[in-house]
Every structure is written in C-alpha cells, then in structure tokens.
Amino acid sequence: MRRHIWGAAAVLALFTGLLPAAPAQAGTSAADGPGPLPLERLFDNRAVSDDARPADADFDGAGGSLSARDLASAGWTPGRSLAVDGARLTWPRTAPGAPDNVRADGQAVRVRGRGNALAFLVAGTGGEASGTGTVQYRDGSRRSYRLAAPDWRSGPLATKSVALPHINTPGGQLAERARLYVVTVPSARGREVATVRLPRDPGAPDLHVFAVSVRAETRGWTGTWSAPTAGYTAVGPWADRSVRLVVHTSTGGPRVRVRLDNTFAATPVRIGGATVAVQEAGAGARGEPRRLSFRGASGTEIPAGAQAFSDPLDFDVPADTNLLVSFHLPGPVATAPVHSQALQRSYVSTPGDHTADGSPAAYTSTITTWPLLTGIDVGGGPGSVVLLGDSITDGVKSTPDANRRWPNILATRLLNQSAVPRYGVLGQGISANRVVADRYPGDGVSTDTGGVSSLHRLDRDVLAQTSARTIVVFQGINDVRWGASADQLTAGLREIAHRAHARGLRAVAATIAPCEGESLCTAAANAQREAANAYLRGSGDFDAVLDFDAVLRDPAHPARLSPAYDSGDHLHPGDAGLAALADSVDLRLLVP
C-alpha cells in the first residue's frame, strides 16, 4: 500500500510562496484570469452516477464513477455538511450524473474565512495527483501551497475520509473500494482568505476537487480531554442502549462541548441524545445530567468518516475531575471506532434512553474502551498541549481507574502553578502505535487497535485538536522493536516537527526510553533507539527536547529501565515511572 505523507522538503516549500501583492481589484484574482467564483460554478466533471445509469458519469476518463447509492449509505448525501478533522465541507448539492467536481487547472475559487489550514475534499484519477496553487488574502498578500490528492482506487486507506464498496463502470459494478480524501494545507494565521487558485497542470493524473473551505481556528475553547481512535472493532452489539463513558478533565471552564467521531466507519451512526455530568461514583452522577444538543437538535447522525460537535452548553466543568458523558444509541451498533486502552471502567445500560438518569441503576454492564467519544472542550483557557505517543503515553500498566497516566500528572502540575499558562493536556497515545507504519490498516473491522501511524493520524489527532499550542512527541520504541531503522524513524520524527511548525505549533520531542529484557528489545533494536536519541538530542529540528531516556534508565545498566520505575514487563513504566516522567518536564519548555 502506497503511503501518502508530506516529506520535510515539501512542507518547507509551503512557505516559499509568501509574496507581497497589490490588493486585487474587484472581479480579479491574484493571477491573470477570470474573477473568483464559487467552486460549484466551476464544476466540469461528473464523478457520481446512479447505479442504474453508470454511463451518466465519467470520473476517471475511462468510464469509472462513484456509486450514488454507496455515498447515501455512508451518509454522504447531496448538500450534506460534513465535519472532518476539524474542517466543515459540503458534499456537492448535485444529482447523480450532473457535474459535481473540478479538475484542477488554475481556476480561481471564491473562499472566505480565517483559520490555520485550508481543507480540500479531493481524489486523484490516474494515480496520485499533485500540484502547486496560490492563496490570496484580503490584505493583498498571497502564498503558494502544495496539494496532493491520492488516487481514488489505489490511494492509502489509512488517510482516506471515506471508502465506498463499489466502483460503477459502463460494463457493470465492480466490488472495488473507491476512496475520497480530506487534505489540509497550512494557511497564514490571522489573515482572511479571499481566493484560492487551484493547482494548474498538476501532471498526468487529474486532481479532482469536490469542496474547499478554511479550517477555522477554535477561539474561546480549550481542549481538556481527548482520546484518539485506535481502530474499528466489534462492540456490543448494542441497540436502544445508552453508553456512559467516564473521562478525566485536565483544565476546567464555564462551558462545555463534546466531540464524537465516526472515524474509519463505512456507515453512519445515530446518536439519539446525549448528556454530561460530574461523576459521583461509578455510573452515578452528581446532580442531574445536563442535556447536550447538536446544531439545535437533541441528537445527530454522524456520517461515515465524519465527526460531530455538540453545541456550547453552560456547565461548570471542574478541573482534574471525572465526568460522565452519556449518549443513546437508538439503532443497532455492532461495530464502532474505539480507543482500546481506556484504563477506565465505563458503562452500558439496559434498553432505553437513560442518558438523563442521575442514578446508576440502569447501567448494568461495564466496558473498558472509549467508543465514539474523542474530545471534550471547555470555554476560555489558554489552549492545549497535545501529547502524541504510544502505550506509555496511553498509560498502559498504570493503575486502572486512578488517572495515573503521565499526561494526567502533567495536567495536575500545570494546574498547581502560575509561572506558565495552565494549558489543557490532551493525551493522544495509542498502545502499539508507531511513527512510520500502520498497525491498523485504516479501513474495515479489525481486532488490532494499534492505530494508523503517527504520520497518518497527525492532522486528525494533533493539528486539528482544539486550540493546540504545543505538541510533545514521545514515540519510536515500537518502530525499532519491529525492525525500523533509526534513519526511517528520524525521518518520520523530522516530518512531524516540520508539519507542526508549518501550522504554527511549538514542537517538543522526548527521547525514547530503554527496554532491554523485553522480548523484542534486542541489542539491534537498542542500537537503533540510541541512534534515534542521538538525533533528537542534537538535530535542532525540535524546539526543545525532554530527556525521558535519562529519567527512566537504570544508571548501572542504561539499556534497561530502572527497577524502581519498571512495571515488571521491562517496557512500560509503572505508576512511579510515569510520575517521574511528568515531574521531570520543565513546564517552561511547553510555552510557544
């Protein structure tokens, strides 16, 4: 499977095109040509066909097209507003067989908004398609950007937004997966976008654009809790059940909203209703749970691959406290996106909508995963620090139900001081995750919950997080344990730093802890670990480096964890080791 990632040179090239320009006159754009138009007025290709009339569309020049029925089954219906990776895009409001996308060739598109990225809903035909376009801002300046669209039939499933089960052709329907992608590129912070000129002559493959928008910066909110989607697994099955998830806040605030993600899914999921409450004990709430709404409605349907934010709710969210987030699943749910290593008991009810129950009586079953829920934001605050990692950041081997992960302890340290802003802390660790290789392929039901690689999940799990200010990367041990070279790993880490910097984030790295004595931590793996740590300590690619290797290693045997910090498996620190990591962080290094 061909991987689609940004190379360091490509990321840096995004900044080479920031050019002064005279303010555009009415009806003109940053380059010669007709004035900017809404994207739908530029549609010149037909990608979607009715299954009964496949010849009405020709997406790829060879008669292939997307199935309108498959799109509807995924919840991608004409005119549907789709929230993906923090951006809101609209699926074309056209009938099957009508023009519904643009083949990029320098067209000037009218786009409005301020934010940290441009989001494009795209696919290539004839192979991966890429090219350089231009953004013009309202102040007259302009910036070049590089856009790459993976192929609709062979692009990586790990980064797709939705995959459809069929391809329509004039000769009949093929049982082959069609892919669509949301790709983001940096936008100049604080500047209002006026015109986006699509890439011209992107090369032999066609680059098709279905929608484009500005991913707005999240003002007035701070992320207090998050959990990345680690896979798409069997659950329940649940039907007419309420799920009550227990999560732990970092910072607090006077308002709340939650984020639900249908990541990796092939079909929509219906949320009948949802509430939030402070936990009293177990599934019991302190006071009456407060009802959440979604764009004014009590529930919502989340299309495949999309997400839903609840509306802002006036609710005093305490810092460093367990919350109960409950949602009703009225229809059958047999599979769902999950975070597998919650290390926290949550609850499932008997039949019925029990989201508003303060009593725990209806919640008779327990689960140890977090399905669907991926984030909680609070009003105000200074923004968040995002901790990107693997099982050590996920808290594996810490005491369950005790919130002794090192992100929790770091959050408490931030709350109990006044020298730096009291950031929210978002733990984005996935057990078994790697920097440069996928454990979960990114599509279909799987028992593996190691997630897609950090390079493939970086935009969703870090760059799109609410008010992210700083990223801390503590990862790489799984790469070297499974045979990656230090060169491969450091190339991936360097790319993370460059992509974070391109979005205006501070990038901090942590050295990789030792693990001699664990079965896959061979001498060869340790040599690659030490080489990667030498790169981290000396490269200068990151704004700061936390020496977690020095914190955790045995001074008498540096290839091993200190016995005082070893959980017993020689790979994961226990409670004492995780506390040592959090306590070692110089909080000033987290400040942009």
Residue 249 has pLDDT above 50, yes or no: yes
- Long-range pairs for 201-204: beta carbons < 8 A, 24 or more residues apart: 201/105, 201/106, 201/131, 202/104, 202/129, 202/130, 202/131, 202/147, 203/129, 203/130, 203/131, 204/126, 204/127
Q: Dump the DSSP string for 377-409.
A: EEESSS-EEEEEESHHHHTTTSPTTS--SHHHH
8-state DSSP, 360:
S
Residue 203: per-residue pLDDT: 66
Residue 201: per-residue pLDDT: 73
Please report, rounded to a whole number, the percentage of residues in the chain having pLDDT higher than 90.
92
Rg value, the chain, Cα: 24
Q: What average pLDDT score do residues 479-486 get?
A: 98
How many angstroms separate the Cα of 323 from the Cα of each of 60, 367, 411? 49, 16, 16
Residues 391-444 have pLDDT tens digits of: 999 999 999 999 999 999 999 999 999 999 999 999 999 999 999 999 999 999
Cβ distance 102 to 208 under 8 Å? yes
Q: ∠ CA 451-406-382 to the nearest 5 degrees?
A: 90
Residue 124 has pLDDT above 70, yes or no: yes
Which residues are CB-contacts of 557 (< 8 A; sequence separation ≥ 6)? 516
Q: What average pLDDT score do residues 300-324 get?
A: 98
Residue 22 or 304, more confident = 304
**Mean pLDDT, all residues of the chain:** 94
How many angstroms separate the Cα of 34 from the Cα of each of 39, 106, 110, 197, 210? 13, 11, 11, 11, 20
Residue 35: per-residue pLDDT: 84
- Could you give the 3-state DSSP secondary structure of residue 577? helix
Residue 202: per-residue pLDDT: 64
**Cβ-count burial 562-573 (b if 16+ within 10 Å, e if not):** beebbbeebbbb
- All structural domains of the chain with their residue ranges: 8-215, 230-375, 382-592
Joined tokens for residue 328: 């009703």
CA distance 262 to 154: 23
How many angstroms separate the Cα of 79 from the Cα of each of 17, 72, 91? 34, 11, 5
CA distance 26 to 36: 10
Residue 33: per-residue pLDDT: 57
Residues 3-18 have pLDDT tens digits of: 333 343 343 343 333 3
CA distance 503 to 145: 13
Residue 178 has pLDDT above 80, yes or no: yes
Please report, rounded to a whole number, the percentage of residues in the chain having pLDDT higher than 70.
94
Q: What average pLDDT score do residues 361-382 get?
A: 98
Joined tokens for residue 382: 């200074």
Residue 283 or 7, more confident = 283
CATH class label, 382-592: alpha beta
Residue 31: per-residue pLDDT: 40
End-to-end CA distance of the chain: 37
Residue of 169, 129, 163, 166 whose CA lies nearest to 146: 129
**Phi, psi dihedral angles at 407 (to 5 degrees):** -60, -35
Residue 26 has pLDDT above 60, yes or no: no
Joined tokens for residue 174: 């093929």
Cis peptide before 555, with omega less than 30 degrees from 0? no
